[in-house]
Structure 1
Amino acid sequence: MAHRLRGAVALAAAALLAVTAAGCGDGDADGGTVKITWWHGQAAPYDAPIKKLAAEYSKAHPGVRIEPQLGTSNVDDMLQKVTAALAGGDAPDIAYMYGSWTASLAENRKVVDMTDTVKDPSFGWSDFWESERAAATVDGKVVGVPAVVDNLGVVYNKKLFDAAHVAYPKPDWTWDDFRAAAKKLTDPGKSVYGTAYPVSGGEDTVWRLWPMLWQQGGGILTPDNKKAAFNTPQAAAALDLWRGMARDDKSVYLDQNGEKFLPLFQSGKVAMVVTGPFALLDFKEHGIDYGAVPLPGYNGNHETISGPDFWVLFDNGSRRAKAAKEFAAWLSKPEQDARWSLAVGNLPLRKATTQLPEYKKYVDDFPGAAEFVANLDNAKKARPSSAAYAKFSEAVGNAITKSLIAGDPASQTLGDAAKKTDDLLAKEK
């Protein structure tokens, strides 16, 4: 999904900017069938809807052949794979890219500008949720069209709540309510934790803090993207709430590799998890009786964060670019959205999709899905469009980890991260 970053990503982003157009074939010379290579990043069996859509479009458009390919078995590596392909003159026409990469992608001249395409009234750009449109746009340029959208909410185990005689959370709950519930749900004798936090230091660590800033009116960077804005008393209080839960209440399972807390929820050892709709399929398959609610809030603000990912197009000549744009526009229609997103358990990409018959089946098949769809209205901001984001996010991830594991005060760890962020942003300019 959109939220995982690796150290190699920053290096790949820098390499992408250095790639030139030399060696990239234009595909325009023969005037025959236009072949569009589509790197989707979906391993079998999740690639079945993609293959069907590609075959259907190719059949309906005899002059175009859509060729879906895995691209890479690990989407985390997609940026590096695309960068290498661009350098070798064999780039895909369309690739699945994380939203956190858009700032770097926007600076590369091989990335097709989709601004005019989405502004065409037939595209229905306003039908996509605000968080998707914001994450796709860098300095007025639309870098890609939405491929996946998600958000963070809280999923809870009803059985554990009932056993602890704790009332199920309500949509208007507060962070103090969350802390109190987590403490009551914790049972050391049974190795049950009220909640969990991934402290790998990566983006999975970081993006859980940003909504707590936004809910209090704060921001990640200053409006001009030149300075850190997250080192505030409100942000420190938010992180210190988690620090107090972890160190004083002992109600938080600290997952140091970020891969255990969801399985622990599935096995009944964690009562609540801050997660997204991408986890619902596994929860359903494990037979968990669960519920879903928005994030706790401050003063009635339950703002969340969304991690949209995108279909990004690369310029392999005018004919291929034109055909790729037309295909991307077709793929973004509600009917195709239902067959791609809903078929694999993802949230709908656009509001019109929720009016289709497939949507009713989707929410029936995936308990909690309707709550996460409604929660998209709480996703109002995107992470900063800064090429330095991957690096300063790592500094923030380390700050969160130090506070929760070592117990360092949030004002200290966030202060250190803010200094590193300011240095990185200064170098970027």
Structure 2
Amino acid sequence: MNSFRARTAVAIALLASAGLLASACGSSTQNTAQGGKVTISVNGQPPQTQAFDRKVFDQDVAEFEASHPDIHIEPHEGFMDPKTFSAKLAGGQLEDVFYVYFTDPANLIARHQAADITSYLKDVPHVGDLQQQLRDVFGDGKGHTYGLPTANYSMGLLYNRTLFTRAGLNPDQPPRTWDDVRADAKKISALGNGTVGYADYSKSNQGGWHFTAWMYSEGGQVARKDGDQWKADFNNDKGRDVVSHLNQMRWADNSMGDKQLLELADVQQLMGAGQLGMYIAAPDNVPTLVNQFKGNYTDYGLASLPGGGGTLLGGEGYMLNPKATPEKIKAGLTWLQWKYLNPDRIEKKLQLYQADKQPVGLPVPPVADIWTGPVRDQQEQLKAKYATVPVANYQPYMATAATLPGHIEPPNAQQVYAALDNVMQAVLTTRDANVDQLLGAAETTVNAALAQVR
């Protein structure tokens, strides 16, 4: 759901296609009702190489059409594939119902490239049960809504429970502050044999991504709106605190290991091999550790991001073509609610995943943590009932997931992250790095990138 590489590729594709957005409508929105049916094109169909996910999707389409005989679904593969996205926008082939990352809606709304669905929502069940901060991603700040969230993630602290126990730490009481992280990392690295207490990224724009998450956890920002202009907002005490903690763990404590300039796969490999205590991560890292790096679900725990000031929020949802007819909008919202936002189908979905030996119990699809109130309580009870992974290991994360303030990525995120990569690289590879100089240079670069935002 939140693959950094996938989001980076999409961001590049979106930038490349910005000039084409004005033509992001056309033939797919023609009224194609046949035999009394409304036909809607939707993307999000998994490729055939993902056999289980494809099977579930296609079964859902068949079941939906059987229970809604007046609607025909025309499914398209893909999740805003950067290889085809620009061409679809230019050629007017945008689906009636199309997938977006949380970083997309603001620009699409500003450019009038999504339908205003505000007046239709009164007829969509359970919209009021969705977390407000997720709904806000699809709003214009003026009371209008242009899409719905279907899944989300927020960054937390992924840790190795086995190493915590070996280091004399309580795996049921993970760090709550960055000072706690530093203290625990020292104890874990003291186990020796190449064990690393805490690791972080510093290349491929991923270092800047984590710097941003850390700033949010301190209650700070990386970019702020100043009138109509965005400005960098990390060359301050909070930014210096982030860099200071990294510097102390790397050089004073030696709890981050000697090998630096790491990226996602490097850190996952360390964790999967049982050689790493902690790193910042989203919940979807856990199945990756198990499936790709031979980890074990019982070894891992997930906590909220230390600091308690906030977290980096991401996820996905769907918007509707701005040229769609009212009939298509109603049909599209009916499909989205039935498939993605339907508490009545949670148990059936979990049974299906359990029967296929898919992981159940993590705060990721098929039980995305998008709900609040009684619906969220219902989902958590069912998740525990059908769990195939140790749900208790992830309760420290779930305890705050719905209430911790979430912030999406900054504008022109990849350029911002590239500048902040330089800060992360320098502080992790140079003992006496000049923090003020590093933050000042990054601020200049980021302000130039943010000046391009319109």
TM tier, smaller: 0.7 to 0.9
Of the three residues 198, 202, 209, the one matched with 1:199 is 202
The answer to whether the aligner puts 1:49 opposite 2:56 as a matched pair is: yes
Amino acid at match of 2:40: I
Q: Is the 8 A contact 1:2 1:100 kept in 2?
A: no
Residues 353 and 174 (structure 1), Cα distance of their counterparts in 2 relative to 1, 3 Å cut: closer
Tell me which residue corresponds to 2:278: 272
Do the aligned residues in 2 keep the contact of 1:12 with 1:80 (CA within 8 Å)?
A: no
Selected match of 2:67 from 39, 60, 65: 60
Q: Deviations over 1:247-299 (max 9, x none)?
A: 333322545332121232121111223222212334566324233322222xx
Say whether the 8 Å CA contact 2:152–2:315 is kept in structure 1: yes
1:2 aligns with 2:26: no
Residue 160 (structure 1) aligned to one of 134, 158, 163? 163
Provide closer, same or farther for how the CA distance between residues 215 and 271 of structure 1 changes in structure 2, counting only shifts above 3 A.
closer
C-alpha distance in 1 between matches for 2:63 and 2:69 = 11
Relative to 1, partners in 2 of residues 1:354 and 1:420: Cα closer, same or farther, differing over 3 Å? Answer: same
Whole-Å Cα distance in 1 between the matches of residues 172 and 240 of structure 2? 25
CA distance in 2, matches of 1:232, 1:276: 26
1:58–1:64 CA contact under 8 A, matched in 2: yes
Name the CA shift for 1:114/1:126 in 2 (closer, same or farther; >3 Å): same
Q: CA deviation at 1:350?
A: 1.2
CA distance in 2 between partners of 1:208 and 1:126 (Å): 32
SS at match of 2:199: strand
Structure 2 SS opposite 1:136: coil
Please give the secondary structure, in 1, of the residue aligned with 2:220: coil
Aligned equivalent of 1:12, options 3, 11, 14:
14
Amino acid at match of 2:114: V
CA offset at residue 193 of structure 1? 0.6
Shift of 1:8: 6.4
Out of 399, 404, 408, the residue aligned to residue 383 of structure 1 is: 408
Q: 1:227 to 1:110 in 2, by over 3 A?
A: closer
Q: Quote the offset at 1:48 in angstroms.
A: 3.2
Aligned mate of 1:177, from 177, 180, 183: 180
Query: What is aligned with 1:294?
Result: 304
Distance 1:200 1:339 in 2: 42
Gap change, CA 1:109 and 1:303, over 3 Å in 2? closer
2:154 and 2:311 in contact (8 A); partners too: yes
Matching residue within 99, 102, 112 for 1:99: 102
* Residues 200 and 256 in structure 1, CA contact (< 8 A), matched pair in contact too: yes
Deviations 1:121-166 (A, max 9, x none): 7443342224312333344453431122112222322222232333
CA distance in 1, matches of 2:136, 2:418: 22
Offset at 1:59? 1.1
Q: Which residue of 1 aligns with 2:269?
A: 263
Letter in 2 for 1:325: L
2:250–2:256 contact (8 Å) kept in structure 1: yes
- In structure 1, what residue type is equivalent to 2:162? K
Cα gap change, 1:79 to 1:353, in 2 (>3 Å): farther
For residues 143 and 340 of structure 1, the distance between their equivalents in structure 2, rounded to whole angstroms, comes to 27
Amino acid at match of 2:342: K
Letter in 2 for 1:330: W
- Which whole-Å deviations, capped at 9, do the CAs of 1:198-244 have from their partners, x for residues lacking one? 22242x43343334434444223234452122221221111221132
Aligned to 2:427, the other structure's residue is in SS state: helix
1:323 paired to 2:331: yes
State the AA in 1 paired with 2:275. Answer: K
Matched, 1:360 2:404: no
Q: Following superposition of structure 1 onto structure 2, how do residues 118-137 of structure 1 map, counting pairs within 5 Å?
A: 118=121, 120=122, 122-137=124-139
**Contact conserved, 2:213 with 2:312, CA < 8 A, in 1?**
yes
Q: What is the one-letter code of the residue matched to 2:62?
A: A
Q: What amino acid does structure 2 have at the position aligned with 1:63?
A: D
Structure 2 partner of 1:404: 428
2:243 aligned to which of 229, 239, 246: 239
Aligned to 1:304: 311
Q: Given residue 335 of structure 1, which amino acid in structure 2 is its aligned partner?
A: D
Distance 1:122 1:26, change over 3 A: closer
In the other structure, the counterpart of 1:393 is 417
**Cross-structure match for 1:350:** 371
The verdict on how the C-alpha distance between 1:349 and 1:366 changes in structure 2, with shifts beyond 3 A counting, is farther
How has the CA–CA distance of structure 1 residues 245 and 91 changed in structure 2, closer, same or farther, with 3 Å as cutoff?
A: same
Amino acid at match of 2:274: G
Is the contact between residue 156 and residue 282 of structure 2 (CA under 8 Å) also seen in structure 1? Answer: yes
Superposition CA RMSD, Å? 3.1
Is the contact between residue 302 and residue 396 of structure 2 (CA under 8 Å) also seen in structure 1? yes
Percent same amino acid at aligned positions?
22
The 8 Å contact of residues 130 and 380 in structure 1, kept in 2 or not, is answered as no
Q: How far did residue 389 of structure 1 move?
A: 3.4
The 1-side partners of 2:125 and 2:417 are apart by 33
The alpha-carbon deviation at position 40 of structure 1 amounts to 1.5
Aligned length: 419
Deviates more, 1:350-359 or 1:190-199: 350-359
Partner Cα separation in structure 1 for residue 289 and residue 409 of structure 2: 32
When residues 172 and 8 of structure 1 are mapped into structure 2, their CA distance, relative to the original with a 3 A threshold, is closer
What letter is aligned with 2:249? M
Q: Contact 1:24/1:86 (CA < 8 Å) preserved in 2?
A: no
Matched, 1:142 2:145: yes
Alpha-carbon distance between aligned partners in 2 of 1:127 and 1:229, rounded to the nearest angstrom: 33
Task: Please report the TM-score for the alignment, with normalisation by the length of structure 1.
Answer: 0.84
Distance in 2, matches of 1:329 and 1:176, equals 43
Q: Which runs of 5+ in 1 are unaligned?
A: none
- Deviation of the 1:11 alpha carbon: 4.7
